[in-house]
Amino acid sequence: MNSTQTASADAARRREGGGLSRALNVSAVRRFLHRHPGVARLGVVILIFIVWEIAARTFMDPLFVSPPSRVFTSLGSVWDTSGVPAALRITFFELAVAFAIAVVTGLAAGLAIGLQPFARRSLMPIVLLVYGLPQITILPLFILFFGIGPPSKIAFGVTHGVFPIVITVVAGVQNLKPILLTSARSMGASRWQTFRYVIFPHMIPSFFAGMRLGMSGVLLGVLLAELYVSTAGIGYFTQMFTENFDPTKLFGLIAMLAAMAILLNEIVRRAENHFSRWR
Amino acid sequence: MARRDRARRLASRAVQIGFLLALFLLWYLATNVWGVNKLLLPNPISVWRQFVDVLRSGAFLPDLRVTASEFAAAFVLATTSGTIVGYFISRSRYFTRVFEPLLAGIFSIPIILFLPLYVLFFGLGPASKIALGTTISFFPIALATIAGFANVDRALVAAARSMGASNYQLFRYVLLPAALPVIMGGLRIGFTIALLSILGSETIASLAGLGHHIVELAEDMEMSRMFAYIVFVVAMVALLNFAVSYLEARGRRHQ
């Protein structure tokens, strides 16, 4: 349906073009955009920024909205605000530690639960139940137990990140064809060999899928805890910029954090693509 | 064979119940026998008393009303905007190719980051929570709508057209039934994360609501009552999730 529509639209355009070079150019641009949706996507993003720029410069209150050009040029001054580089470093450190702990414990727990049918049947419902609970309600408890420094953020990040990893690892082990295990054992593979050459390679794709979900969980947990209470992390600065009605710096800091999140997500996604290629 | 299956199922149930009992026992022992500080971990019995008191006195009602109305507003806004935007994007393959990766890309950023901005724009009241909940749950709903409508079997569309279906008939009898299960999946995700983000933004910066009340109790060091509220919110969310799963399963069966 669509292709016929575009074909007739093309024909109509050709008819009205009538040899005028301008019209030809327009249709050439259209055809180019049609073949490269990525360019059109970029155009949409640029358009949004232009609208934002014009709106912020004309009728929006400068106490609340800052034009993107000013945000961009002030990135340097955000970086120079004393404490901001350290805050970003702390947040990155919290994310890295939380992610490492979540991956290690998630993998260990996932294997322990997934490799044993009985453990899987009895413990998986508990894991799913806990995963479905709104963890945000116990955030104040984390602060109470672990203090307002980095440990509470790391702990909250771990509890957000570990469950998706456990669940995907268990699912990955579960999807292993029993025939592979049986044939490995009948060919005389030891427990370790079975794990190393059968279970492990089959688990890799789901493990990396779990890492990707775990990374978004860790990001969510750490950022929630940071925004909730913070003495030196980015939560402190977002609150300060908000209270000082300094949208330029607030936008800049959030842009930096978003860039950090995108970068971390992208690394894990690349790793996932890379390691699931062998299939 | 059947008997062995049943024995197995009983055994795993026993492990589950045993696990929960052990957790409660540990909690009881830690507070009553080992003397863990009451400010860190309150006694389960006093938590239970507070919980009953909260339920009986109806003290939760004002906060529940705030949270529920914020959630309802956010979910309705996200559902209408998400399905409408998703539908119009899905109507053209080209638009799908342009906008779908854009939406998916934004969705992969932790949107909770924008909370300080929303607080700046909309203040500490319900408006900032509604805005955040709407933004966060808009994306899965729009993406699911696009996926649902874009993956309708072309043969079905062609068949309906050749039998002379009008635009409305095509939408009502072919596109919608085919896309609905996928859209329902998106609504389900949107439902959960809208609720979580509203509770979360109430916890972080707000004036009222259940999340706010828990923080207040934590700051007053009223631990038993705070635990009682946590139990209340967790039970409420669990019930809501259960209800949604039930409705979803029923919807599936009717198709």
Query: What is the DSSP code string of B120-180?
Result: HHH-SSHHHHHHHHHHHHHHHHHHHHHHHHHTS-HHHHHHHHHTT--HHHIIIIIIHHHHH
The pLDDT tens digits of the residues spanning B107-141 come to 888 888 888 888 888 888 889 999 999 999 999 99
Which residues in chain A have Cβ-Cβ distances shorter than 8 Å to B120? 64, 242, 245, 247, 250
CA A253 to chain CA mean position, Å: 18
Contacts of A105 (CB under 8 A, 6+ apart): A158, A162
Angle subtended by helix axes B126-150 and B61-90, to nearest 10 = 30
Nearest-neighbour CA in chain A from B241: distance (Å): 8
Q: Which domains does chain A have, with CATH numbers?
A: 1-53 (no CATH), 76-275 (1.10.3720.10)
Structure ipTM over 0.85, yes or no:
no
Task: Judge contact between B144 and B176, C-beta under 8 A.
Answer: no
- Return the exposure string of A149-182: e unless at least 16 CB atoms fall within 10 Å of the residue's CB, then b: bbebbbbbbbbbbbbbbbbbbbbbbeebeeeebe
Report for B62-66, B137-141, B243-247: range of highest mean pLDDT:
B137-141
The pLDDT tens digits of the residues spanning A215-259 come to 989 998 998 888 888 777 788 888 888 888 888 888 888 888 888
What pLDDT, on the 0 to 100 scale, is given for residue B1?
Answer: 53
The alpha carbon dihedral of B23, B25, B27, B30 has a sign of negative
Percent of chain B surpassing pLDDT 70: 98
What pLDDT, on the 0 to 100 scale, is given for residue B179?
Answer: 85
Residue A4 predicted with pLDDT over 60: no
Report for A78-87, A269-278, B39-48, B146-155: range of highest mean pLDDT:
B146-155
Nearest-neighbour CA in chain A from B254: distance (Å): 26
What pLDDT, on the 0 to 100 scale, is given for residue A1?
Answer: 42
What pLDDT, on the 0 to 100 scale, is given for residue A263?
Answer: 87
The pLDDT tens digits of the residues spanning B195-218 come to 988 998 988 888 888 888 888 888
A218-247 residues touching B, CB cutoff 8 A: 219-220, 223-224, 227-228, 238-239, 241-242, 245, 247
pTM, to two decimals: 0.81
Q: Give B183: exposed, middle or buried? Use CB within 10 Å, 0-12, 13-18, 19+.
A: buried
Query: Chain B residue closest to A1 (CA)?
Result: B158
Report for A22-26, A66-70, A105-109: range of highest mean pLDDT:
A105-109
What pLDDT, on the 0 to 100 scale, is given for residue A17?
Answer: 46
Which residues in chain A have Cβ-Cβ distances shorter than 8 Å to B94? 2, 6, 34, 37, 40
Candidates B92, B109, B199; nearest CB to A262: B109
